[in-house]
């Protein structure tokens, strides 16, 4: 990625800024352009034609639709371009985008479906939970004139050497969504409870201030994840059942409900795709 221009669509959003300020410079990317909602449409083509890598870092709500729109904007490109699709819910985006890539049929376009399991509100390499930071590569689509194998290996090596972040391709999009629902999504049940109950919000802010800050900053993402991930209904049901078995009042009630739902969903096993906040809640519940 060293000498290649990167274009971030949604580059002024929270994750887009994180990429620009914390990730790309460490990968020796010094030139990153952005497209935002207010970027004039006639400038999109110029930006896309100049880019080698395009990262779609827009909100989860409407992500698949925006991704497909982007592919049609890229029909005219006549040089290898890699499109990076990074939503926290992968299956729906993968189905829509891979089908659209086939329809657009530009041999220079390749797509990578990836979930970065880290972000601006929790990225601390020295923490015990840093082992959960990884790139989950669920799928890819290589254009006939733009093979991806060497490029993906090179970028994975960069993340490993620069950040100690591994890249796994052990899960397809649907497996990814199920596993993240049972970990990331379960922790988001606590976030949703915070949003609905001011008293719970106050106690979580007092007892787990960093988690509270992250969940508050990601309010819309959390609610979108809960709505979009097709495995969340069973997670919500497990948490609601566990919550009803408590007094539904205290910090310990929150942790007990989390622990019971976790035992029901994960059967006491470690999550294959964990998150920092899921691990912190697990640890707190075990005390």
**Residue 189 belongs to some domain of the structure:** yes
**Residue 66 belongs to some domain of the structure:** yes
Same domain, 145 and 24: yes
**Residue 239 belongs to some domain of the structure:** yes
What DSSP designation does 143 have? B
Same domain, 31 and 154: yes
Same domain, 237 and 259: yes
Residue-level pLDDT at 130: 73
Q: Can you tell me whether residue 35 is helix, strand or coil?
A: strand
DSSP 3-state percent helix, strand, coil across the chain (nearest 5): 55, 15, 30
Three-state SS letters, the chain = CCCCCEEEECCCCHHHHHHHHHHCHHHCCCCEEEECCCCCHHHHHHHHHHCCEEEECCCCCCHHHHHHHHHHHCCCCCCCEEEEECCCCCHHHHHHHHHHHHHHCCCCEEEEEEEECCCCCCCCCCCHHHHHCEEEEEEEECECCECCHHHHHHHHHHHHHHHCCEEECCCCHHHHHHHHHHHHHHHHHHHHHHHHCHHHHHHHHHHCHHHHHHHHHCHHHHHHHHHHCCCHHHHHHHHHHHHHCCCCCCHHHHHHHHHHHHHHHHCCCCCCCCCHHHHHHHHHHHC
**Residue 146 belongs to some domain of the structure:** yes
> Using CA atoms, how far apart are residues 111 and 47, in angstroms rounded to an integer?
18
Q: Does residue 146 contact residue 119 with C-beta atoms inside 8 Å? A: no
CATH number for the domain that contains residue 80: 3.40.50.720
Interacting residues of 243 by C-beta distance below 8 A, sequence separation 6+: 193, 253, 257
Which residue, of 119, 136, 170, is where some domain finishes?
A: 170
Same domain, 144 and 236: no
Residue-level pLDDT at 31: 81
**Residue 139 belongs to some domain of the structure:** yes
Same domain, 66 and 205: no
Same domain, 41 and 156: yes
Residue-level pLDDT at 231: 98
**Residue 44 belongs to some domain of the structure:** yes
Select from 273, 91, 124, 126 the least CA-distant residue to 187: 273
**Residue 178 belongs to some domain of the structure:** yes
Length of the chain: 287
Residue-level pLDDT at 131: 82
Residue-level pLDDT at 122: 65
Indicate yes or no: pTM above 0.85: yes
| Count of domains observed in the chain | 2
Residue-level pLDDT at 3: 46
Same domain, 10 and 117: yes
Which residue, of 170, 188, 222, is where some domain finishes?
A: 170
Same domain, 160 and 181: no
From first to last of its 287 residues, the chain has per-residue pLDDT tens of 444 699 999 999 999 999 999 999 999 998 899 999 999 988 999 999 999 999 999 999 999 999 999 999 999 999 999 999 999 999 999 999 999 999 999 999 999 999 999 988 766 656 666 789 999 999 999 999 999 999 999 999 999 999 989 999 999 999 999 999 999 999 999 999 999 999 999 999 999 999 999 999 999 999 999 999 999 999 999 999 999 999 999 999 999 999 999 999 999 999 999 999 999 999 999 99
Q: Does residue 140 contact residue 150 with C-beta atoms inside 8 Å? A: no
Residue-level pLDDT at 40: 94
Same domain, 54 and 119: yes
Same domain, 165 and 205: no
Same domain, 65 and 147: yes
Expressed as residue numbers, the domain containing 23 is: 6-170
Same domain, 202 and 232: yes
**Residue 1 belongs to some domain of the structure:** no
pLDDT of 17-43, one tens digit each? 999 999 999 999 988 999 999 999 889
Given its phi and psi angles, is residue 267 left (phi above 0), alpha (psi -120 to 50 degrees) or beta? left
Residue-level pLDDT at 73: 97
Tokens of 19: 């990429």
């Amino acid at each position: 990625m060293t000498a290649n221009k990167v274009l971030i669509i949604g580059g002024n959003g929270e994750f887009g800024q994180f990429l620009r300020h914390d990730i790309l410079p460490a990968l020796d990317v010094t030139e990153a352009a952005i497209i935002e909602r207010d970027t004039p449409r006639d400038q999109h083509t110029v930006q896309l034609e100049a880019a080698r890598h395009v990262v779609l870092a827009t909100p989860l709500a409407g992500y698949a639709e925006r991704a497909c729109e982007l592919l049609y904007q890229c029909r005219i490109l006549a040089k290898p371009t890699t499109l990076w699709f990074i939503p926290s819910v992968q299956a729906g985006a993968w189905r829509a985008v891979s089908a659209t890539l086939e329809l657009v049929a530009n041999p220079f376009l390749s797509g990578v479906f990836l979930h970065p399991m880290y972000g601006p509100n929790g990225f601390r390499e020295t923490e015990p939970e840093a082992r959960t930071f990884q790139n989950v590569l669920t799928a890819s689509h290589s254009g006939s004139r733009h093979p991806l194998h060497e490029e993906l290996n090179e970028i994975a090596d960069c993340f490993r050497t620069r950040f100690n972040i591994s890249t796994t391709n052990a899960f397809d999009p649907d497996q990814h969504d199920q596993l993240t629902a049972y970990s990331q999504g379960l922790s988001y049940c606590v976030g949703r409870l915070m949003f609905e109950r001011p008293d719970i919000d106050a106690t979580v802010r007092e007892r787990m201030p960093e988690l509270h800050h992250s969940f508050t900053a990601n309010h819309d993402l959390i609610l979108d994840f809960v709505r979009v991930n097709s495995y969340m209904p069973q997670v919500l049901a497990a948490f609601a059942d566990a919550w009803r078995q408590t007094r539904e009042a205290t910090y310990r009630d929150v942790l007990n409900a989390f622990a019971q739902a976790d035992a029901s969903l994960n059967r006491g096993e470690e999550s294959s795709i964990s998150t920092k906040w899921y691990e912190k809640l697990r640890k707190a519940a075990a005390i």
